Amino acid sequence: MRIAPLAAALLFIVSGATHQAGAQTTESFYGSTPLTIVVGSDAGGAHDAFARTLGKHFGRHLPGHPNVVVQNMAGANGLIAANYIANVAPKDASVIAAISPGNIVEPLLQSGQAARFDPRKMQWIGNIANIQLTCSTWHANPVKSVEEARRTQVIVGGGSSVSSSAILPNVMNELLGTKFKIITGYQSGNVRLALERGEIEGICGWGYSTLLATAPDWIATKKLNFLAQSGLKRMAELPDTPLISEFASGAEDQAIFRLLTYRELLGRPYVAPSGAPVDRVEALRKAFGETMRDPEYLAEAKAAYQDVDFTDYKGMEAVINDAWAMPPNVVKRVAQLTRGGN
């Protein structure tokens, strides 16, 4: 049986195009396509700084060595960027996102509100560093412990009402009986100036790594009295500062503090769209891990006071799954506390 010349030609063209599309390797894709990192915060903040340092080195470890472009997509405490990567971004792995840590458990706490994604179904790449929040007063302030903060009012500054700098002191007021007066509306740079000027007396809810990256002189010259820290264990840098969970009065409070810790623990998380090709996601994960061990990257991160405490995607998934396994009463209470409820 003979095929007409025109039909044969069309069959050849279609078959060739299909083979070429299907045969595109990860190397050829990234060799011709830049990688964009969408950052869910403003330029100049800690998340932005971490992403830009990563971007200088990440491409070297990816097949095809693509250029890496960092774009900011701030808003709603990172939820705009998180919703974008989950629902709108191209599914070809040309775009990944550096989202805010709170976004990881936000869908659990909000249950169908502004967060339009399920973290359990997302393709996590890796986490540069864990974050442990600190609660501190200015060095000249007489309140230097949680016990003293239970007796004396301390004015602390924060961002929005759902930022960590507002949530942590509210949680401590509700569960530990402290007397923090929370003034919101500050941008990150302004709250530092307000503390130095004496307009406020403390900052409760900033990550220790954020302080190192944005105000290293405060750490070096001991400008802060550290009252408490979040996390699952005390940081080596703050061995004498108690965990907030050490003040918990029972098992339920312990679980509440654990879920609150998960809200910030994976402090610099990176994620690819759910529908991205598996081979490219695997390449992103491998390259991310290699970058976290890259001497040049580590040297630049250290010079910028950016700590590196790498968690791979499997470790991230374990934290997420543990958060979703929390009892409903604990989830409900944390949801209330993170919205300023009682």
Domain segments of the chain: what residues? 26-130+266-337, 133-263
Taking the alpha carbons of 301, 306, 309, 310 in that order, is the dihedral positive or negative? negative
Q: pLDDT tens for residues 41-93?
A: 888 888 999 999 999 999 999 999 999 999 999 988 889 999 999 999 999 99
Q: pLDDT tens for residues 199-222?
A: 999 999 988 988 888 888 999 999
- pLDDT tier, 8 (very low <50, low <70, confident <90, very high otherwise): very low
pLDDT (0 to 100) of residue 194: 93
Higher pLDDT, 65 or 5: 65
Q: Regarding the domain with residue range 133-263, which homologous superfamily does it belong to in the CATH classification?
A: Periplasmic binding protein-like II (3.40.190.10)
Q: Tell me the average pLDDT across 118-127.
A: 96
pLDDT (0 to 100) of residue 126: 98
Say if 26-130+266-337 and 133-263 have the same CATH topology.
yes
pLDDT (0 to 100) of residue 331: 94
Q: pLDDT tens for residues 247-281?
A: 988 889 999 999 999 988 899 999 999 899 999 99
CB-based burial, 185-207: b 16+ in 10 Å, e otherwise: ebebeebbebbeeeebbbbbbbb
The pTM assigned to this predicted structure is 0.83
Taking the alpha carbons of 310, 313, 318, 319 in that order, is the dihedral positive or negative? positive
Instruction: Choose which CATH entry (3.30.565.10, 3.30.465.10, 3.40.190.150, 3.30.300.30) describes domain 26-130+266-337.
Output: 3.40.190.150
Higher pLDDT, 236 or 11: 236
pLDDT (0 to 100) of residue 78: 87
In 3D, which of 224, 223, 243, 225 has the Cα closest to residue 233? 243
Confidence check: pLDDT of 181 > 80: yes
